[in-house]
Structure 1
Amino acid sequence: MNAQKPILSVKNVVKHFDISGGFLDQVRFKNGRFGLEKITVKAVNDVSFSIQKGETLSVVGESGCGKSTLARVILGLYPPNSGEIYYGGKRIDHLSHEKMLPFRKKMQMIFQDPYASLNPRKTVQQTLEEPLRFHHPELSDAKINGKIELVMEQVGVDHAWIRRYPHEFSGGQRQRISIARGLILDPEFIVADEPVSALDVSIQAQILNLLMKAGRERDLTYLFITHDLSVVRHISTRVAVMYLGTVCELARAEDLFATPLHPYTKALLSAIPIVGEKKAKHIKLKGEVPTPVHLPTGCVFHARCVYADDRCTAEVPGLVTLNNGTCVACHAVEENRIPA
C-alpha cells in the first residue's frame, strides 16, 4: 500500500433501521403494564476502513450481514446514524443533496439486478444520455452522442441496440448497459453491488473481465460487494469480511486466502470447493445465525465460535492491526488461543 491519502475513508459508521411500525404496532403488554417497544435492525455497526486510489476492496459475508447497506451509506443513498465518510479528504456524509452533486459524478454504482436498475420505459440512448444532460448541460448533442458511442464500444454493447428497451436484452447484455451507464460520467470510484450474482457462470466471467479492463483503462477504484469467494480471489486487492454488520477481518487478498485468522473467515473459506479434493474439510459452525434485531453481547460471533470464552461474551473486540497489515477483531487471535 502506498502512503498517499485514501480516496475513501469510512470511520465508525453506524446504520440502524427502525421497523417498529405505527403506534399500535409498538404497544406491548409486559410485566403487568402496557408500554411502547421499538424494533431496530442494526444493519451496520461501527465499521471503519479506507480505500486507496486504484485498488479493489471486496466486502464479503453471508446474506444479511450489511454489505449492501454499507455500500448505500457510502454513496449517500442512506444517511448514517453516526460516523464519518470522507471522499478525497472531504467529509461527505453530512452534505445536502445540492452539495453532494459534484461527488455524484465521481462515485457511481452498478446494481445487482440489471433489469430492476434500468428504467423499462427508456431506450439505451435515453438511459445513457440522461446523466450526461443532468450533470453536463453544456454539452452539445454531438458530444453526448460521441461519448455514448465510445462507452458502448468499450463495454461491448452494439451501437445498433441504441433504440432498444431493457426487455429486449439478455441479463448479460443488460448488465453491460448498466456498466456503460456507470462509466458514462467518467467516475473515479465505483461501487459494484453483486454485479454478477444474477448472471450465468459463463456470462459472469465476461462481466468480471470487462470490469477489470475498465479499471485498468480508466484507473478506477472499486468497492466490490459479493458473497462469491472465487470472484473475490480473482479481482481483489484487499478483502473485508463482514458478519452481522461488523468487519471481523480486513487483509490483502493473498494473505486472507493463504492464512485466514478470524474463526468466521476460516469457516467461510473452508466452504470453497476444491477440484480433486476427495474429502471436504468444511468447518461446520454451531448454533443459529443471530438476527440484526437482537445482536448478541460482546463479540457478535461468539455464540457460533468454538474458541469463545467469557471475555468474548462480554467485551466487543476492536480491529487490531497485525505486523503484516491484516486487521482482525477477535480476542482469541489477540490472545493466541487459535492453533495455526
Structure 2
Amino acid sequence: MKTTRAHPVPDPGSHLLELKHVVKHFDISGGLLDQLRFESGRLTRQRTTVKAVNDVSFAIAPGETFSVVGESGCGKSTLARTTIGIYPPNHGQILYREERIDNKSAQAMLPFRRRMQMIFQDPYASLNPRKTVRQTLEEPVVFHNPAISTDQVEARVAEVMSQVGVDPKWVGRYPHEFSGGQRQRISIARALMVDPEFIVADEPVSALDVSIQAQILNLLMEAQEERGLTYMFITHDLSVVQHISTRVAVMYLGTLCELSPAQTLFESPRHPYTQALLSAIPRLGQKRSRHVRLKGEVPTPIHLPRGCVFHGRCVHANRRCEEDVPKARTVEGDVQVACHGVEEGRL
C-alpha cells in the first residue's frame, strides 16, 4: 500500500455537497394486524420505526475524501444511500452545488445522476449477472448521451477498462467469470463511465482480500488525482480511513458524534466513542493494552435512549447526558464534537 498522504483541509466556504439536519427512518410495522397489540385489556395500534439516521449535518468540499466510520448498524450505508438519492430523507435538506436535490422528481434528478455515482460493497450483487461487461459499461454512457456513436462508446469502454486495470479484450465476459477484485474494478469502471464529480463508495473493499484491498484503494486514489473526484467513503476499517481521508465523521446509532480532519482525529480524538474506536486498533511495540472498554450493550435503533445515544455505554456520562441531546459544537479549529462532557470541559 502507498504511504499515507497529507491531505489539505478544504476551504469550509466551498461546498460540493451539503446535508442539513437529515433524518431517515424506516417504518417496519407491517400490515394492520401486525400493528395491533393488547395492552391493559385494550386493543391498541403500535408502529415500529427504525431510526437509522438522526439529524445529520455536514458539508463536503470539492476534491476531498470524506470518510464516515462507525460500528455495523450505525447508519453509515443508509446515510450513503440517502445522500446519493436512493432513499429520500424524511426531514432535512441535501444540496449539490447549493441546489437542493432531495425534493426533485426522477426526471429533474437526471443531470445530477450523471454527476453523482455510487460504488457498492458487494460487486457481484451490484453487477447484473445476465449482462456482459460491455453491456454493463455501455448502458450508462448511452443513457446519458443518446447521440453518441457506437465507435465512441466502444472507445470509451476500452479506455476506462484500461484505466481500472481490466483487459479490454474481456468485454464479452460475464461477472461470474471474474475474481472479486476484478469485479470491483468493473464496478469502479461503471461509476467512471459518465465522468462524475462525486462518488459515494460504500465499503468498496471490505469484501476483498487485504492485498486486493490495497490495489483497489490505490486505484481510487489515482482516479481522484487524475479526474479531480470527490469521495464520500463509507467504511468500518480505520486503517483505510487513516490512509485515504481528508476528514472523518464518526457515527453512532445514526448520530454524528465527531467530525474532524483525519490527522487530528487519529492524534487526539475528543468524543469518548471515537476514543474507544481508536483504542481498539492493534499497535506494534505497545506493551500495555490501552483499549477502552465500554460498558453495557449497543441499544437498538428502534428504541433509542433519551439524551445522548451513547450515554448508556459511556463511563463519563452524568445526569445531563441521560436527559439532553448534545449538539455538535466546534471545539478546536475544524473539529466538531457532540458531547456534553467535552462542552463542559470534563473531557
TM-score of Structure 1 vs Structure 2, range by shorter chain: over 0.9
From 236, 241, 266, the counterpart of 1:257: 266
Per-residue CA deviation, residues 260-283 of structure 1 (Å, 9 max, x unaligned), is 000000000000111222332111
Matched, 1:156 2:165: yes
Asked if structure 2 preserves the Cα contact closer than 8 Å seen for 1:129 and 1:148, the reply is yes
Matched, 1:215 2:220: no
Deviation at 1:323, TM superposition (A): 3.0
Matching residue's letter, 2:276: A
Moved more, 93-102 or 269-278: 269-278
Asked if structure 2 preserves the Cα contact closer than 8 Å seen for 1:307 and 1:332, the reply is yes
Matched, 1:31 2:40: yes
Matched, 1:313 2:303: no
Q: Give the equivalent residue in structure 1 for 2:24.
A: 15
- Calculate the aligned-residue CA RMSD, in Å: 0.7
Asked if structure 2 preserves the Cα contact closer than 8 Å seen for 1:114 and 1:178, the reply is yes
Identity of aligned residues (%): 68
Q: CA–CA distance in 2 between the matches of 1:237 and 1:161?
A: 35
**What SS class does the counterpart of residue 312 from structure 2 fall into?**
helix
Q: Give the equivalent residue in structure 2 for 1:61.
A: 70
Q: Give the equivalent residue in structure 2 for 1:104.
A: 113
Deviation at 1:244, TM superposition (A): 0.2
Q: Give the equivalent residue in structure 2 for 1:240.
A: 249
Q: TM-score when scaled to structure 1?
A: 0.98
Matching residue's letter, 1:86: L
User: 1:101-250 maps to which residues of 2 (within 5 A)?
Assistant: 101-250=110-259
Matching residue's letter, 1:160: K
For structure 1, the residue ranges without an aligned partner over 5 or more in a row are none
Q: CA–CA distance in 2 between the matches of 1:315 and 1:212?
A: 41
Matched, 1:284 2:308: no
Q: TM-score when scaled to structure 2?
A: 0.96
Aligned residues: 338
Deviation at 1:294, TM superposition (A): 0.2
Moved more, 39-48 or 269-278: 269-278
Q: Give the equivalent residue in structure 2 for 1:274.
A: 283
Asked if structure 2 preserves the Cα contact closer than 8 Å seen for 1:248 and 1:262, the reply is yes
**What SS class does the counterpart of residue 287 from structure 2 fall into?**
coil
